[in-house]
Structure 1
Amino acid sequence: MPKDEHTGTRIADQRKLAGLTQRGLAGRIPYSYSLLHQVEAGHKNASPDLVSSVARALRIDVTALTGQPYVTELQQDRLAELIRPIRESLDLYDLGADPDLRPRSVPELITAADDLCRQVRATQLNKAATALPAVIAELTTVAHRNPTRELWRSLASTYRTAHDITVKLGYFDLSSIALARMDWAAQRASDPLLAAVRQYMRALVYFREGEHTIGLRLIAAGQSLIGDADETVESLAVSGQLHLGATVIAARAQDKTTVMTHLAEARRLAGHTGEAGHVHWLSFGPTNVQLHEVSADVELRHYGKAVTDAAAVTMPNSWPLSRRAHFYVDRARAEMEIGRTESALEDLVTARKMAPQQTRYHPGARETIKGLVHKRRTTPDTLDSMAAWIGL
């Protein structure tokens, strides 16, 4: 990126386009003029909640402030070239069966759809993004020729994978299309749990944008869909994950009462399900409740509590690398905010080792790296390397 371009400069540019002074914008967000001034000058990092607050106040998309997608880095990782085939595959949904396509067998395609979910959670984004368009095309053809619930569910799963990949890489417009396709396939599968998972993922879109009311309404809509399903471990796990989604949305809204209500309900459900990572690849269970409590602490700006709560977390060996890395990014932000810069850097290095592409394109990780650079008068070689890695 240009040497003088960062989230703070983008906030300043968008603020000026809106005809606002720094004090005028500060009056519209739950942050002080002093902090906004330091963020725009590049002396403080722009936290995700501050960015979403500014975007909401200026009525613009968060990506206008974060600079996503990070095209230079995507080109370096040879990921940018994979986006167009994914976009094209998402347009096949209503074209019926492709007469020129010779798809794999149904069992092979169902396995391929599951493998894509597994690859994303193992942070093999390049591998998953490369294979995804062909699996979508083949499943689309097979489902139109022989419309079964199992095939529609697998097709919905591939659309979810498209959403997961495009969100991680910063293509949020494409991720919204993928979620619309997921809804289309879930309706044909007549699967209320799948439809509820989609509402959960939609809610997280509004979490990113800071639209808390809509996010919580989507969570409630997902819970009502679960009411149409039998009570099973699967339905309890999906319900619990919806409560966890509500926890972080309410935390970003600084609504501590709602946070505690949803967190308590998720903890109760996790007591019934145990570790239920097999359910729709949600990783729901007692450990995920602990991790969401840490995330909520960070969003509530209770950074000391976040570090304390994080110390009590023990992640199962079976947990996906994507979820592990996300935890280390959250903890790094909290540690930076309370002055534990060395520990924060160690956690970011750990996240990078576990999930390099996910960490490189994670706005929170990038802002924390920038924050560490500004906090330290002299930067160790490791921090210099991390800063160069994100293009700083």
Structure 2
Amino acid sequence: MPATSPGPVGRRIAYYRSVARPKMTQQQLADRAGVALGTVRKIERGERGVTDGTLDAIAAALGVDPARLLADRERVATRIRDALPTLSAAIAAYDVPDDGPVRPLSELRASVAQITAWRLSAQYLQIARRVPDLLAELARASFSAPSENDQQVAELLVTAYRAADAVAYKHGARDLSARLIELMRWATPGADDPLLAATVGYVRTEVFFAARAHKAGLRALEAAIDACPPPVDAGAVAARGALHMRAAVIAGRAGQGDAANAHLTEARTLGDQADEGVYQGTAFGPDSVRIHEVSVAVSLGNDHVQRAFDVAREWKPPADLPAERRSGFYIELARAQLWGGLADDAFESLKVARRIAPQHTREHSWVREDAATLRRLKRADAESLTSFAEWCHAD
């Protein structure tokens, strides 16, 4: 596999090694990564590049996403795109998996929890590297597991499909994303869990966003809300609240302001009953609802930007929220600021989004559109704005 250019990647490796807790020596890094000490030394001194395999091993030893070590963000996107055919092949064989080993249920559960954590922190390269093999193994498990484990395996399969969908959707593979969502819907009845079904209804909205079929998406979400269990415990409160949050956004995109506000009000009421957290793989709570207030304002159009400004003036997403959700807040705020004539503020918001979740920000279509607009509006601010626009492939 091609090697990185020496220099920046070595400096990043040395930095993350120095801030590890406890601090890691070069020898310890070499031992944990399974590479020679001399290789680590040469990489950190900028005397040699790093192959994909070595980079992945070092990143795993450091406990960071390989994308954090790369200066060449295009290479991250290329590696993810190159992994999509393997993912597509894995799901093509969902009902006729290849023979192979199947780990105990506890180990499968731990692997699914890990890729869910990567999804929430927008580490799409990590998911792309691991999820095809995991999906194949879970498909084998679904055929070979004892009957008493059927529901648990089905739940793990749905959750893994969701992580794979995040990669496909964020990187523009919308047909693959739609296939993954249909597989989520196919596997969900086997889990016999109405809260998981509500989660799938939440994720399914991506199909409607991609097709700009907002009215149909709103109908689908309202049907999912009707089917959701009553909010008698934390899980049900969060499931119903998340559906209302998403219904508010898609209602705004459909131009239905009254419906958007009604769903947002329901989400806010439910959010006040829940501690902020991740439920069934979806963040929900008062902070998530505040972020969706900005989303709804942007969805309703530039006549509603003051509403987004009012939220942002008094509140910022706390650091313990999932990175993807926090970066999404700043991406949406940047659009509102651009519409409100605050070009400098919009650029600052986009830079914050990039610091929080670079992969999520780089692949977001609004970031590209807004960076291109900012470059046209501020031709005199050449270097940093042009660099950002080129980084996210803005036209």
> Structure 2: how far apart are the matches of 1:254 and 1:142?
45
> Structure 1: how far apart are the matches of 2:258 and 2:75?
40
Distance 1:299 1:189, change over 3 A: same
Q: Which residue is equivalent to 2:109?
A: 110
SS of equivalent residue, structure 1 residue 370: helix
Deviation of 1:282 (Å): 1.1
Deviations 1:274-327 (A, max 9, x none): 21x221121111111111111111121212321222222332332111111111
SS of equivalent residue, structure 2 residue 134: helix
Q: Which residue is equivalent to 2:248?
A: 247
Q: Which residue is equivalent to 1:355?
A: 357
Kept in 1: contact 2:128–2:167 (CA 8 A): yes
SS of equivalent residue, structure 1 residue 283: strand
Q: Which residue is equivalent to 1:375?
A: 377
Q: Which residue is equivalent to 1:25?
A: none
Distance 1:388 1:317, change over 3 A: closer
Deviation of 1:235 (Å): 1.1
Letter in 1 for 2:246: G
Deviation of 1:73 (Å): 4.6
Distance 1:333 1:109, change over 3 A: same
Q: Which residue is equivalent to 2:185?
A: 183
> Structure 2: how far apart are the matches of 1:380 and 1:346?
15
Deviation of 1:254 (Å): 2.1
Kept in 2: contact 1:197–1:222 (CA 8 A): no
> Structure 2: how far apart are the matches of 1:254 and 1:107?
46
Kept in 2: contact 1:152–1:188 (CA 8 A): yes
Letter in 2 for 1:282: T
Tell me the TM-score normalized by structure 1. 0.77
Kept in 2: contact 1:113–1:158 (CA 8 A): yes
> Structure 1: how far apart are the matches of 2:361 and 2:377?
21
Structure 1 residues 214-223 or 373-382, which shifts more? 373-382
What's the RMSD between the two structures over aligned residues?
1.8
Q: Which residue is equivalent to 1:266?
A: 267
Deviation of 1:230 (Å): 7.7
Kept in 1: contact 2:231–2:237 (CA 8 A): no
Q: Which residue is equivalent to 2:140?
A: 141
Q: Which residue is equivalent to 2:283?
A: 283
Kept in 2: contact 1:287–1:313 (CA 8 A): no
Q: Which residue is equivalent to 1:42?
A: none
Larger relative contact order (Cα-Cα within 8 Å, sequence gap ≥ 6) = 1
Letter in 2 for 1:191: D
Letter in 2 for 1:119: W
> Structure 1: how far apart are the matches of 2:378 and 2:278?
43
| TM alignment of 1:142-161, pairs within 5 A | 142-146=141-145, 147=147, 148-161=150-163
Letter in 1 for 2:234: V
Question: What residue ranges of structure 1 are gaps of 5+ in the alignment?
Answer: 1-71
Residues 1:257 and 2:258 are matched in the alignment: yes
Structure 1 residues 377-386 or 114-123, which shifts more? 377-386
> Structure 2: how far apart are the matches of 1:76 and 1:138?
26
Q: Which residue is equivalent to 1:34?
A: none
Deviation of 1:231 (Å): 2.9
Kept in 1: contact 2:198–2:224 (CA 8 A): yes
> Structure 2: how far apart are the matches of 1:313 and 1:84?
42
Q: Which residue is equivalent to 1:130?
A: 129
Tell me the TM-score normalized by structure 2. 0.77
Deviations 1:159-196 (A, max 9, x none): 11111111111101000110111112111111111112
Kept in 2: contact 1:248–1:295 (CA 8 A): yes
> Structure 2: how far apart are the matches of 1:354 and 1:75?
16
Q: Which residue is equivalent to 1:53?
A: none
SS of equivalent residue, structure 1 residue 278: strand
SS of equivalent residue, structure 1 residue 93: coil
Deviation of 1:352 (Å): 1.1
Residues 1:305 and 2:304 are matched in the alignment: no
Deviation of 1:74 (Å): 6.9
Q: Which residue is equivalent to 2:32?
A: none
Deviation of 1:217 (Å): 1.3
Letter in 2 for 1:260: N
> Structure 1: how far apart are the matches of 2:180 and 2:221?
19
- 2:335 paired residue among 316, 333, 337: 333
Kept in 2: contact 1:163–1:178 (CA 8 A): yes
Question: What residue ranges of structure 2 are gaps of 5+ in the alignment?
Answer: 1-72
Letter in 1 for 2:114: D
> Structure 1: how far apart are the matches of 2:212 and 2:107?
40
Q: Which residue is equivalent to 1:387?
A: 389
Kept in 2: contact 1:200–1:218 (CA 8 A): no
> Structure 2: how far apart are the matches of 1:336 and 1:313?
19
Kept in 1: contact 2:174–2:210 (CA 8 A): no
Structure 1 residues 80-89 or 372-381, which shifts more? 372-381
Distance 1:223 1:363, change over 3 A: same
> Structure 2: how far apart are the matches of 1:75 and 1:353?
16
Kept in 1: contact 2:231–2:240 (CA 8 A): no
Distance 1:235 1:84, change over 3 A: same
